[in-house]
Structure 1
Amino acid sequence: MLFKSLLVVGTASASCLHGLYRRSEGEVEIPHFGYEDTFGPLNWAALAPENEACKAGKNQSPINIDSTVSLATEKPILDIPQQAVEFENLNTTIEVVVNGTTTFGGNQFSLAQFHIHTPSEHRINREYFPLEVHMVHKGVGHLPNKANTPTADPTQIVVLALMFEMCTQSSDPLIASIAPHLDAITEPGSRTPIETGIDFSGVLAVIESSNIFQYTGSLTTPPCSEGVTFLAVETPLKINVPDYNAIKKIVKYNSRLSQNTLGNDNIIAVAAASGGATAPNNETVVEEATPVEGAPVAGSTVVISEISGSPVAEPMVGLVQRGMRFRS
């Protein structure tokens, strides 16, 4: 097992948490969730008890980032030494296991890995992007105070989200670093070393020049635990067509649907409770019914003796209105 326990967010396998805790030197673990059928996002909560937040959490990610989301008051400072890395295929994503340190908000965070989503999970002003990279960190402690006593805080998770758009030139160095090694991880569970490491120069440059949005949301994979700090970089990086096609051929589709506005009821709970569509102003949407031969017409009265197949205690008399639908 890549990790046998998660200190805060449960014990479910999750792409976003992969590499944060204990790892084995053996086979790559394949997470117990997916993006199709009953393994998809609409049913994640049913796959394991610890996934309850996937259908009940009120601060879920990803979201549409708009004017209601604040800009970060400071830029994260990344320190990623040159190193050999592991490139892995988890079936739900492809990821690079890499070590580094990021300083943000008076805290230091340890970079554990970055992984890829196609298409992007976040949208910026409703615009989606072909690809999104998540650089996942966990807290390692506060910066030394006057007493020089850093306080460990491994429960904090920070995700730096990078958007990518298509181009006809060379891909950003981060993508160019992994592209030659894609053929080695086409099968789920496979891994390969990248001895030359990853070139983060384009990432560092865009962080320095771009606006960065900050909000508190959740993991975008099970167990969908909340309290995750997202730092979403507004300016997209570049990926060319050949590299994009090679990546999506392996990753396929692995994007969670956009969640409700932060603080509001979980979008899955809203859909389950409504039992049907609602208009933006919360008015019930009434579909026009095609007239059925022999069905009551508007203005006539009907006796209602059962509702949805269940008998009522006392029959009721109702007036047929325009737009009412009757089924035999």
Structure 2
Amino acid sequence: MKFILSVVIATSSLFAAVSAHAIVKRAPPSGPHWDYSGDKTGPDHWGLLDPAYVTCETGMQQSPVDINAQSLSRFVHCAKKALTFDYEPVKDAVAHFNGHTVEIDWTPNSKTHNNSIAIGKKEYHLIQFHFHTPSEHRINGRHADGELHLVHRNPVDKSLAVIGVLLQAQARNVPFFHYLTALQKKVHADKRDSAVAAAPGTTSAVVDELLKDSVCAGTQPTPQSATKVDYPLKLVDFAPLVRALKGFTPRWEYSGSLTTPPCSENVAWNVMHDPYPIGLDQLRALVDLQGYNARDLEDSRGPAHE
């Protein structure tokens, strides 16, 4: 399990989008305000904010987790058999900052292909994907620079399956993430230039304190302003991602939870063994848009709970 891990990003929420050619109108988030701060609205207090969030406090299979020798011997399984999946490009998607994460979603119609994965006899359809910075899952205690979550839902019982992809920063930008810098520029309408060049090396120390130099690229947008900006995507082609991840194999599998309120459990997690690259400029754009949005590791499966 060798990773050149560096910086960190990512998390979730299910908003509907309309055609990329129309003005997108989204309903305001329901439930009480929550965030990633150390205050009374932060992760340590999510379970106290609303009765609907109590699982964040009392759940016994919470995510994210550290994948290490102990968790592998207890509840995480290393899967080397190919995951059954059926992915095609998605048309007319929308990239936006929803107040917690940068998310890409779309409105299904009769012509939309149900990108899907199969776990056992159960099929799950891809409904959105989003980012965390830094990564929420850790490998042997170490963050990755970010994490991409591909969120799938079973159409019958509405249960969820998530593919988690650890992101590793590199100097060159990656075509699959081209919309990140474009969304950042659209949010900052003045299109100010970044005063800091992307260093071609590594990163870390929790993404170098979440890329200190990102402040040189502009002021962190407020949720109120950023959530009103959408960047339309005519096509999202997953082929380069799926190819690089060898058809989502190998991977670590375990039963966990959503990493955001309401922290619902029985989520089928598939964390990819191999990281996927992200350009440092693209990572900087993510950090500028969403800041630190990674839930702390959960220890609900510790010896005291067995």
* Paired positions, count: 238
Distance 1:20 1:111, change over 3 A: farther
Deviation, 1:229, is 0.6
Deviation, 1:206, is 2.9
Is 1:88 aligned to residue 84 of structure 2? no
The superposition leaves residues 112-143 of structure 1 with CA deviations (integer Å, 9 ceiling, x where unpaired) of 11111000000122221111111111102xxx
- 1:1-328 mapped onto 2 (5 Å cutoff): 16-19=12-15, 26-27=25-26, 29-30=28-29, 32-36=33-37, 37-67=39-69, 68=72, 69-72=76-79, 73-98=81-106, 100-105=114-119, 106-140=121-155, 153-171=156-174, 173-185=175-187, 187-208=225-246, 210-260=249-299, 262=301
Distance 1:135 1:80, change over 3 A: same
Unaligned runs of 5+ in 2: 1-10, 18-22, 109-113, 188-220
| TM-score normalised by length of structure 2 | 0.70
Deviation, 1:246, is 1.3
Inter-partner Cα distance in structure 1 for 2:304 and 2:129: 30
Residue identity matched to 2:182: P
Deviation, 1:82, is 3.6
More contact order relative to length (CA 8 Å, sep ≥ 6)? 2
Inter-partner Cα distance in structure 2 for 1:110 and 1:191: 26
Deviation, 1:261, is 5.7
The superposition leaves residues 85-113 of structure 1 with CA deviations (integer Å, 9 ceiling, x where unpaired) of 11121111110004642121232211111
Please tell me the root mean square deviation across aligned C-alpha atoms, in Å.
Answer: 2.6
In our comparison, the structure showing a higher alpha carbon Rg is 1
Percent sequence identity over aligned pairs: 25
Distance 1:176 1:26, change over 3 A: closer
Residue identity matched to 1:41: P
Q: Which moved more, 1:112-121 or 1:67-76?
A: 67-76
Find the residue that maps to 2:77 and give its secondary structure.
coil
Moved over 6 A (4+): none
Alignment check: 8 A CA contact 1:158 1:229 kept: yes
Distance 1:17 1:92, change over 3 A: closer
Inter-partner Cα distance in structure 2 for 1:33 and 1:135: 22
The superposition leaves residues 152-190 of structure 1 with CA deviations (integer Å, 9 ceiling, x where unpaired) of x3321001111101112232x321244323222453322
Residue identity matched to 1:64: D
Residue identity matched to 2:61: N
Q: Which moved more, 1:65-74 or 1:226-235?
A: 65-74
Q: Which has the higher helix share?
A: 2
Residue identity matched to 1:137: H
